[in-house]
Amino acid sequence: MLFGPIGRQVEVPWPLSGMSSDVNLTTETTELLSGEQSVYRAPISYKTYNMTWKTSSAKVQPIIDVYSGIYGNGPYYITDPIAGVQGNNLLPAKWAACHLLAHVCNGWGSPVVTDQTNTPEGKQVTFTDSLDDPSEFPNPIVVPTVPGSPLYFKVWGSRTGSASVQVFKYLKSTGGWVLATNAVPNLTNGAPTTLVSQTVANTGDVLAVKIVPTLPSGTLTLQHIDLAVNDYRIYTPTIFGLPSSLYPADGLYPGMGLFPSTAGADPAMFRSGKGVGPVQFTGNIGGKLDSVTVDRIGLSLDLCEVSRDPNN
């Protein structure tokens, strides 16, 4: 896997000797005078990881270097090439299911969550331009690209005025961000925007993309966003080794659902966000030298998904 800040990710071995992953949700229980209980449930979840290795000291040295701040103080990003190739939505859940952004925007755009029937979430969020707010979403999401793979982007929703969802690309050649597209959300199941073509992916120049909703004027309504290495309308069963006789009738693979059909249109693929936002170390790196003779070292670390990356 790749691990580190955008532009300075290093190759590290997968923690083959062990890895635990938790999806966490903050709750608070209040004891009422009546004897009943009230439980507050936070609207947004976050992920934590514990990774352990048993390998040579040379292979885990890049991990220690990242922890030591050689590549910056973070937050850091984990790039899992396998997850990308499997056709997962690379966005975290709160970005794929856009109505959750109402809880992380710090009041930007006076968010209003309403019902909708176009996507399985059943909710949408509408942001409205205001002179009191900056034109750009205050907490954008950064997603590292999958090395050697193209990248496609699709956003469902609507807009008025000049509102859009801007997508920037981080170029290795220049060491900075450039605008890739001003995506206009819509309610049709048309072709996604090609952010990174296969030809460009082969050069390795695009290291990450950044998604920034913008409100120069008007309103921006977001329902669902898909970011993946394949077109959301395409089923790729060869990834799972399935013979053609076993292809699902609806063209789905595990983890996929269908958007409701619109008049005269085929149903569209729905993919929940399985990505991870920026992470930070929690606690110390612990380990022990198993054998000086064969240079085996055990290493363990804890990571926590954080809300934002001030460096990007």
Compute, in degrees rounded to 10, the torsion defined by CA atoms 136, 195, 85, 203. Answer: -120
pLDDT of residue 84: 63
Name the residue range of residue 95's domain: 89-272
pLDDT of residue 205: 95
- 165 in a structural domain: yes
Whether residues 65 and 203 fall in one domain: no
* pLDDT digits 0-9 by tens, 179-194: 999 999 998 877 899 9
Whether residues 68 and 96 fall in one domain: no
Rg (CA), the chain: 21
Residue 229 to residue 206: CA distance in whole angstroms? 13
Whether residues 72 and 141 fall in one domain: no
Could you tell me which of 147, 152, 146 has the C-alpha nearest to residue 167?
A: 152
Which segment of 12-16, 145-149, 184-188, 263-267 scores lowest on mean pLDDT?
A: 263-267
Buried b (16+ CB within 10 A) or exposed e, 100-136: bbbebbeebbebebeebebbebebbbbbbbeeebebe
Whether residues 257 and 291 fall in one domain: no
Whether residues 108 and 207 fall in one domain: yes
Whether residues 156 and 237 fall in one domain: yes
Task: CATH number of the domain at 213, please.
Answer: 2.60.120
Q: Is the pLDDT of residue 110 over 70?
A: yes
Residue 30 to residue 28: CA distance in whole angstroms? 7
* pLDDT digits 0-9 by tens, 154-180: 999 999 999 999 999 999 999 999 999
Whether residues 239 and 283 fall in one domain: no
Question: The whole model's pTM is what?
Answer: 0.85
- 84 in a structural domain: no
User: What total number of domains does the chain contain?
Assistant: 2
Residue 195 to residue 75: CA distance in whole angstroms? 24
